[in-house]
Amino acid sequence: SQTIHQWPATLVQPVGSPLSLECTVEGTSNPNLYWYRQAAGRGLQLLFYSVGIGQISSEVPQNLSASRPQDRQFILSSKKLLLSDSGFYLCAWSETLGLSGFTFGSGTRLTVV
C-alpha cells in the first residue's frame, strides 16, 4: 500500500534562516507530488506541483522553492524565511492529475519568529 511521510511535524525558525521540508512517498511509482500551505482560517493554497523528477511548476510567486531529486521525494526550501512564511504545510500525492483524490502527509507546522 502507498504511504506518504512528511517531516518535521513542527518547526520554529528565526526570520532569515533557511528551510528544508521533506516529503517521501512509498509504494507507488511516478506519483504527482504537491506542496500546499494552509494559513490560519484559510483554505489550502497550492505552492508547487511536480509530475516527474526535476519537473516543478510554481503556482504563486514567493521566496520558497521546491525540488524533486528522486521520483518519490519532494523538498520544499527557502534560503531566507519571512514572518509571512508561517503556516501549516502539507505534502500530497496523487496518481491521476486532477481526477483522483489526494493523499496528504501529516503536515508541518512552521512558525517563523
**Residues near other proteins, by CB under 8 A:** 32, 34, 36, 41-46, 49, 51, 57, 59, 90, 97-107
In this complex, which beta carbon is closest to other proteins, that of residue 49 or of residue 85? 49
Q: Which residues contact 27 (CB under 8 A, 6 or more apart)?
A: 1, 2, 3
Instruction: Supply the minimum distance, in Å, between the C-beta of residue 48 and other proteins.
Output: 10
In this complex, which beta carbon is closest to other proteins, that of residue 20 or of residue 55? 55
Instruction: Supply the minimum distance, in Å, between the C-beta of residue 46 and other proteins.
Output: 5
Of 17, 46, 20, 16, the residue nearest 34 (C-alpha): 46
In this complex, which beta carbon is closest to other proteins, that of residue 14 or of residue 99? 99
Cell numbers describing residue 106: 501529516
Q: Distance between CA 54 and CA 52 in Å, rounded?
A: 6
